[in-house]
């Protein structure tokens, strides 16, 4: 049996997405900037896809600009947002558990003289609201807090945090993991990625609220209203748009609730069948993510044992080239070395079935028992 449970790393594209992209590659290959019909048709597809993204996030008073993915969108929002608002002050607020695209952008800004405050999290990856409030001041240029954590699944109270920010502070939220899995609250800047919602890789977007001004990220031919120059990736954009259409329908049809029930059942079965574990994902979490530490094991060994049985899971985030690095998220949560070393992330999708999870539980139980048995004999 083939079981893919690493949907937080990337997702299988919908069949409709692939067909839409193929059509754009074969027939609608014109340059959207061209003045003849082939270019105009391509531009219409971009316009339609832009509306599909807006429909999924909930139409607010703002615009969507297409990028090459979540990393570029995060970089653009944070670096350009902070520099545009730099006259207000040099202070930035974020958390210790953000995606590397956010944290590395913060490091770059620190080198340019910005003072970045990293909020702590508890053992379930929740931030301390009182600490957030204490850091608020008139010199805060930018706040960047993710909508949901990509390793643990913890959902953050973005709307409440946004309402407490100083009036002229720009608020950014990395919504890459949350898009299509929960209803989003509009803030000043939001980042998205296509391949996390069964769309193509290499395409993403940034939402910029009306009235918020940031510097362009890539200059050149003036595409995307001069916010992100470069000939548009039409096949990627239409694929992203189609994925947003389908994701919106799934949200409306309680697709997330179906996944949530599967995750809840899987979690309970793990708790009942396997001893000495710690469930790292809290109740208030995305329907798709379950992070569990199997004490007395090494997650990489269990991961490869499961791979032999056709099951694909993660030992952490797959969005970094640091394949064997310790999870900065689990470390920030204050977990023990044993808890960190034995942590696995199971991330579900609408394609996941009860049969697949039952099969995974059986193989997981055997893998954990086998590892512990060998470890005891040493």
Cα separation, 45 vs 52, whole angstroms: 11
DSSP letter (8 states) at residue 127: B
Q: What strands, in cross-sheet order, belong to the sheet with 343-347? A: 277-279, 289-294, 343-347
pLDDT value of position 324: 58
Please state, as a whole number, how many other Cβ atoms lie within 10 Å of the Cβ of residue 234. 23
Q: What local confidence, expressed as pLDDT, does residue 323 receive? A: 54
pLDDT per 10-residue tile (average), the chain, 378 residues: 98 98 96 95 97 91 96 98 92 99 98 98 97 97 98 98 95 98 94 99 98 94 93 98 96 86 98 98 97 97 98 75 75 97 98 98 97 81
Question: What residues are annotated to the active site?
Answer: 319
Residue with tokens 């299509």: 180
Distance CA 357, CA 273 (A): 13
Contacts with 302 (C-beta within 8 Å, 6 or more apart), sequence order: 294, 342, 344, 364, 367, 368, 371
In Å, the largest CA–CA distance within the chain is 74
pTM of the complete model = 0.95
DSSP characters over 178-214: TTTTSPPPP-SEEEEEGGGTTS-SS-EEEEEETT---
Give the integer Cα–Cα distance in Å for 19 and 282. 38
Angle at 182 between CA 294 and CA 189, to 5 degrees: 110
- Cα gap 199→240, rounded to integer Å: 5
CA dist 235 → 36, 224, 346 (Å) = 19, 16, 30
d(CA 188, CA 209) in angstroms, rounded, equals 5
Strands, E assignment, 203-256? 204-209
pLDDT of the residue at 199: 99
In the chain the domains, ranked by start, together with CATH numbers, are 15-250 (3.40.640.10), 252-376 (3.90.1150.10)
């Amino acid at each position: 049996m083939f079981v893919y449970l690493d949907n937080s790393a990337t997702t299988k594209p919908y069949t409709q997405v692939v067909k839409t992209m193929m059509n754009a590659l074969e027939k609608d290959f014109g340059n959207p900037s061209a003045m003849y019909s082939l270019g105009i048709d391509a531009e219409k597809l971009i316009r339609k896809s832009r509306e599909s993204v807006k429909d999924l996030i909930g139409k607010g008073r703002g615009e969507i600009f297409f990028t090459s993915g979540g990393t570029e969108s995060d970089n653009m929002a944070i670096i350009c947002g902070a520099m545009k608002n730099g006259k207000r002050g040099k202070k930035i607020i974020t958390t210790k558990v953000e995606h590397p695209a956010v944290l590395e952008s913060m490091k770059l800004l620190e080198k340019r003289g910005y003072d970045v405050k990293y909020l702590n999290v508890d053992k379930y990856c929740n931030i301390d609201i009182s600490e957030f409030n204490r850091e608020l001041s008139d010199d805060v240029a930018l706040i960047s807090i993710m909508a949901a954590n990509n390793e643990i699944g913890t959902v953050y109270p973005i709307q409440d945090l946004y309402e407490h920010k100083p009036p002229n502070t720009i608020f950014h939220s990395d919504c890459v993991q949350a898009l299509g899995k929960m209803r989003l609250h509009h803030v000043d800047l939001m980042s998205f990625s296509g391949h996390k919602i069964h769309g193509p890789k290499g395409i993403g977007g940034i939402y910029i609220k009306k009235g918020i001004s940031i510097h362009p990220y890539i200059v050149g031919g003036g595409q995307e209203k001069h916010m992100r120059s470069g000939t548009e990736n039409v096949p990627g954009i239409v694929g992203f748009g189609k994925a947003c259409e389908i994701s919106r329908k799934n949200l409306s049809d309680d697709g997330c609730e179906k996944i949530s029930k599967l995750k809840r059942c899987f979690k309970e079965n793990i708790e009942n069948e396997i001893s000495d574990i710690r469930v790292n994902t809290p109740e208030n979490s995305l329907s798709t993510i379950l992070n569990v530490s199997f004490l007395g094991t090494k997650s990489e060994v269990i991961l490869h044992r499961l791979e032999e049985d056709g099951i694909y899971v993660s030992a952490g985030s797959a969005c970094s080239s640091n394949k064997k690095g310790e999870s900065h998220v689990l470390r920030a949560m204050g977990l023990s070395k044993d808890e960190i070393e034995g942590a696995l992330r199971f991330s579900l999708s609408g394609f996941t079935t009860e049969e697949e999870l039952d099969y995974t539980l059986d193989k997981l139980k055997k893998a954990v028992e086998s590892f512990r048995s060998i470890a005891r004999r040493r």
